[in-house]
Structure 1
Amino acid sequence: MLSEQDEADLLARFAQGDLHAAQALTDLLAPRLLRFATRMLGDRSEAEDVTQDTMLRLWRMAPDWEAGQAKPSTWAFRVARNLCTDRLRRRKPMVPEMPDLPDDAAGADARMMQTARAQALDAALAQLPDRQREAVILRHIEGLSNPEIAAILMVGVEAVESLTARGKRKLTALLSGRKEELGYDAEDT
């Protein structure tokens, strides 16, 4: 990952017309934003829209960016989070999408198990309160630091730690009865 200064430098270079800097920042941020939005919304198409809208907003504000005000990735995650929240508020209850059926090629069993695990995690994440889900995804799936998450969620670091801990406990409770079904033995965590 790039440092705050590196991200700010790329954004400043884009504002001056450097399209290579824009591509580098897009390559860094867009996949992470897409993963976050997909997990938040449960819909890849909507997540792609959120990611695109977030990146467009970043490009529009690039000329006005003040170094040191925030890390561009933190700012982008906050925007994506707000866009996801808006979409979730407008939405009717979510019906999970049916996965594509795997082929019978070698490794199909492993892919099916991986898909089942991912679906179980996504279903369990969907049952968490919004703030806990956001904190868990940002920390344990996207790998952001607690201070970065605090800036995105606009709470203190202690609140992030609490949200993450409660979310992990709830996920453990939700998934604990499914270890054997998901191919984990007693030693796996």
Structure 2
Amino acid sequence: MTAEWVSSPVPAEPAEAELMRRVAAGEEAAFRLLAERHTPALLRFTDRMLRNRAEAEEVAQEVLFRLWRQAARFDPDRARLGTWLHAIAWRLCLDRLRRRGADLPLDAAAEAADAAPSPLEASSRRADLAALETHLAALPHRQRAALTLFYHQEMEGPEAAAALRLDLRAFWSLLRRGRAALRARMQGG
């Protein structure tokens, strides 16, 4: 006798375009779901750009506030929701960086290691990460944003280009210049 497994279909997550339509209609539950999906990536991006956790959180909150207020303006045929939100975050970060005039100093704490390395390995890794962050912070804002979106946020080139409001060719050029500048800084040149 064979046992047959009866499985009930798992309800699919609502598509982001549908959620945005519901947010535009004022549905708070749809907004909360989108906020839960996108806040971690927005915080990573804004924190890396602004290098100040409190400011990064403020910008991420402003992005979510704009998502709520401007949901009806979102066009899923023009961009993915994550791209649209990162474009808003980029402009808000750029405004703050311009007002600031210069970047804030890098916080000395490095990211925690995934595995439990030896104390010597952990110290070396923290020093390497701190050096990388210091060199990344010294790059022009646009180069830092391109590198962060492409490598840290793992956005595809077209999506990162859209977030920065660049055509794809200009984005690849900016990314190439950013990599070269970072490489030169790290090699001491």
Q: TM-score, normalised by structure 1?
A: 0.78
Alignment of 1:35-54 (within 5 A): 35-54=44-63
State the match for 1:182 in structure 2: none
User: Mind listing any 5+ residue stretches in structure 1 that lack a counterpart?
Assistant: 178-189
1:95 counterpart letter in structure 2: P
Task: Tell me how far apart the structure 2 counterparts of residues 136 and 67 of structure 1 sit (CA, whole Å).
Answer: 25
Contact 2:43 2:60 (C-alpha < 8 Å) held by counterparts: yes
Contact 1:7 1:73 (C-alpha < 8 Å) held by counterparts: no
Alignment of 1:13-24 (within 5 A): 13-24=22-33
Task: Tell me how far apart the structure 1 counterparts of residues 122 and 64 of structure 2 sit (CA, whole Å).
Answer: 32
Secondary structure at the aligned position of 1:115 is classed as helix
Task: Tell me how far apart the structure 2 counterparts of residues 98 and 126 of structure 1 sit (CA, whole Å).
Answer: 13
Aligned with 2:15 (options 6, 11, 27): 6
Task: Tell me how far apart the structure 2 counterparts of residues 121 and 155 of structure 1 sit (CA, whole Å).
Answer: 26
State the match for 2:6 in structure 1: none
State the match for 1:34 in structure 2: 43
Task: Tell me how far apart the structure 1 counterparts of residues 76 and 148 of structure 2 sit (CA, whole Å).
Answer: 27
State the match for 1:95 in structure 2: 105
Alignment of 1:1-189 (within 5 A): 6-93=15-102, 94-99=104-109, 107=117, 109=119, 110-176=121-187
**Aligned length in residues:** 169
Shift of 1:118: 2.8
Task: Tell me how far apart the structure 2 counterparts of residues 66 and 96 of structure 1 sit (CA, whole Å).
Answer: 37
User: Mind listing any 5+ residue stretches in structure 2 that lack a counterpart?
Assistant: 1-13
1:38 counterpart letter in structure 2: D
Shift of 1:107: 5.0
Structure 1's consecutive aligned runs of 4 or more residues displaced over 6 angstroms after TM superposition are none
Identical columns (%): 38
**What RMSD, in angstroms, separates the aligned Cα atoms of the two structures?**
2.4
2:150 counterpart letter in structure 1: R
Shift of 1:34: 0.7
Contact 2:19 2:31 (C-alpha < 8 Å) held by counterparts: yes
Task: Tell me how far apart the structure 1 counterparts of residues 149 and 62 of structure 2 sit (CA, whole Å).
Answer: 19
Task: Tell me how far apart the structure 2 counterparts of residues 7 and 169 of structure 1 sit (CA, whole Å).
Answer: 36
Q: TM-score, normalised by structure 2?
A: 0.78
Q: 1:75 to 1:47 in 2, by over 3 A?
A: same
Shift of 1:123: 0.9
